[in-house]
Structure 1
């Protein structure tokens, strides 16, 4: 049985305490705990203690996209970022639209062992948007899928979307929608606005996102089902979600770290590292999504970690792939944009990056309180250091980070998965 004593950490950033971990659970939290014989003692003075982070939106690429990422490399990146669970999107090859594929992803996660991997099932067969996938079979499989998404593609047909919402009600599932009207974004390359007009790239209007969200919250209200909005990015989308929640619609929404920090101004150099779906928006949109996260309109932060091989991004903007990596920089960006600015507290960080994502996914083993008897899924984070981001040092197979060279705060001191240290001082600890 492993025994770890974490000394002098600040749970949720409130006060200080020692934390004793025995085997797979938190045994005790309190001041001046005595280290049992054989315990590993870790000095965490000045550090924040949080429940292990949970990402509801990760692309691990396996099966089929192993050149960009594997379950093993992606979960190594997740552990280094402080995550103890990630939810793997379905747009793999083959698509995760059957019980067999989601169970394969689950098994690969268990084999890798760096963090829990929860497969997300596709809403439609092959992400084609024509007929529903095997939702019930995936839900009743060993993977116990509760989140379904065609992320990367919008479930555009309103009849199909209604049927999906109705179907997942039977097992308390949720549809996570990629809100993008395909007709309004044909050939679109970046946010439609002043910058796109000045640099000559095809514009992607905010209404393409907002119109789908508006339709879907009305469908969710009509059906009485759960809806989750992926990577919300515009001020108008925030207002629609706020309105829907005031009406009592069972809707949740996420924002990515990059939409909290970056804007369409980053596209001026035609560096395709900044090409992402949905696109980087304006300063006004960034202000709105920050405010929405602070006041609870936006429920969670999710990375939308989207690794790509170098030749898919290191090319002309219009033919480059959409997407950015994000697992290893997520908490640093949230600290920089939300905590250090006073917009949210470390307690809010635990809510938006651990507790609520786990609740949306109906994962009762993750996002648990910092209390005796709870699973020892933990993160010890030192908020004091600052360092420029170097993707070459990341565990991900891909280096398409938009934060390359940017000075960001914080350092991962310890990631603990069910009592086992997976990361110590930023370095992976082999089993």
Structure 2
């Protein structure tokens, strides 16, 4: 179906301007004022904001292996609910997509079962936690769009060195979860005064930074596109800043929750505040914000990590790591940073759309211009709404942001010109 999106607001030269968008045969046919079309269904947006579809480089869909937590269908519906039209699906699955056959199977399933576009990560090593490298050329040929062992840091330096050489040879990004297991000591939250107050074992910043330092040296030696997942510490930001200045091809992401919360916001020993990396200090949080603004941090990614309600309704000692984020990212960030004038709307859309698409070479995502696929998100920036567990499309309700009052509710999400989410719709 063709659509004429009337009376929208688009970013033009970083300012909102009244514009219409004509969608024909799945593509953006025209953008301008007072457009008309006799063969298109007209949708009056009443001044809502039309954005390029958001791009999330880091989600966990749990399918196959843990479908009680999420499925390809529910995870993609959750992403569409949040305005995302592309997500990168991490490979911590069962069976692990560490060979061509499994990657091919996942690519086919993602295309058949998702309502949005999905890029499938392959693992870096066999079984994701083993030391033997995967067949990088075969996995690329089978459809992998990048490589990651997310959820586990690569503990052996030579394994990482050889993996970087292999990823460089096939010209795909290597996305690293940086975590030195020998420094963890059973930690469940950030080490510091709050952990001491709650009587919980802490995770120090060096768990992240020690492995990051090693990897930056190896990335410089190999020339790989090295992408750091969920940066969380001030030291990491400074190390990446210096590495970029030295010419290392390093990029990185930060999550909404690390931008929004610090460990002092944790009210008690509650599983919904347990994530990996943990919520850090307020000093670290401010460094992440500064690093995003100055370009050291390239983009925002949710690390959407659904879990069962019973799993998260227990002490941090027992609860699994991770919170959901696909459906709340834009509204929380818009409300807390754009409306408070810390970020501009143009900056936020860049970090959530254009920049991640550019980083991972996704030419049909992250842009809003004539001739491009009509992957669009439309947000209501004027009216406040409440985040509720019942409103989430994800099977996971594990987030500390339930009951927050926010702006920026998704009104429509379109992928290839088709409406895949509509506010008030019943396709949950």
Q: Is the 8 A contact 1:62 1:105 kept in 2?
A: no
Determine if contact 2:230/2:252 at 8 Å carries over to the other structure.
Answer: yes
CA-CA distance at 1:158 after TM superposition? 1.0
Q: Following the alignment from structure 1 to structure 2, what is the Cα–Cα distance between the partners of residues 21 and 288?
A: 41
Superposed, 1:243-322 pairs within 5 Å as: 243-322=242-321
The Cα offsets for residues 181-213 of structure 1, whole Å up to 9 and x where unpaired, read as 111112011001111112111110011111222
Q: How far 1:426 moved relative to its partner?
A: 5.3
**Pairing 1:360-375 to 2, within 5 Å after superposition:** 360-367=359-366, 369-375=367-373
Spell out, residue by residue over 1:270-301, the C-alpha distance to the aligned partner (whole angstroms, 9 max, x if none): 11111000001111111111111122111111
Superposed CA deviations along residues 148-186 of structure 1, whole A, max 9, x for unmatched, are 111110012111111111101122111111011111112
SS in structure 1 opposite 2:402?
Answer: coil
Match of residue 34 from structure 2: 32
The aligned residue for residue 412 of structure 2 is 414
Alignment of 1:168-183 (within 5 A): 168-183=167-182
Q: Secondary structure at the match of 2:122?
A: coil
Q: TM-score, normalised by structure 1?
A: 0.95
Give CA deviations for 1:394-430 in whole Å, capped at 9, x if unaligned. 1111111221112222111111100101112253659
Contact 1:378 1:415 in 2 (8 A): yes
1:393 aligns to what SS in structure 2?
Answer: coil
Contact kept? 2:28, 2:374, Cα under 8 Å: yes
Over the aligned positions, Cα root-mean-square deviation in angstroms equals 1.5
| Alignment check: 8 A CA contact 1:80 1:428 kept | no
Do residues 75 (structure 1) and 73 (structure 2) align?
A: no
Aligned ranges 1:20-419 → 2 under 5 Å: 20-37=22-39, 39-141=40-142, 143=143, 145-367=144-366, 369-419=367-417
> Take 1:338 and 1:134, find their aligned partners in 2: how far apart are those partners?
42
Task: State the 1:46 CA deviation.
Answer: 2.8
CA contact (8 A) 1:102 1:119 kept: yes
Structure 2: tracts of 5 or more residues without a match: none
In the comparison of the two structures, how many residue pairs are matched?
425
What per-residue deviation string (whole Å, max 9, x for no partner) do you get for residues 96-140 of structure 1? Answer: 211222222222221124101111011111122411122221101
Alpha-carbon distance in structure 1 between the residues aligned to 2:396 and 2:357 = 26
Instruction: Point out the more displaced range, 334-343 or 400-409.
Output: 334-343
1:34-85 deviation per Cα after TM superposition (whole angstroms, max 9, x unaligned) = 1323x22122233221111111000000011101000001001011110111
Alpha-carbon deviations, 1:320-339, whole Å to 9, x = none?
11110010001112212332
User: What is the rounded CA distance, in whole Å, between the counterparts of 1:373 and 1:429 in structure 2?
Assistant: 29
Q: TM-score, normalised by structure 2?
A: 0.96
Contact 2:69 2:306 in 1 (8 A): yes
2:234–2:284 CA contact under 8 A, matched in 1: yes
Q: Structure 1 CA distance, aligned partners of 2:149 and 2:372?
A: 33
What CA distance in whole angstroms lies between the structure 1 residues aligned with 2:226 and 2:70? 28
Q: Which residue of 1 aligns with 2:21?
A: 19
Counterpart secondary structure, 2:8: strand
Q: Is the 8 A contact 1:96 1:102 kept in 2?
A: yes
SS in 2 for 1:276: coil
8 A contact 2:136–2:170 mirrored in 1 = no
SS of match in other structure, 2:242 = helix
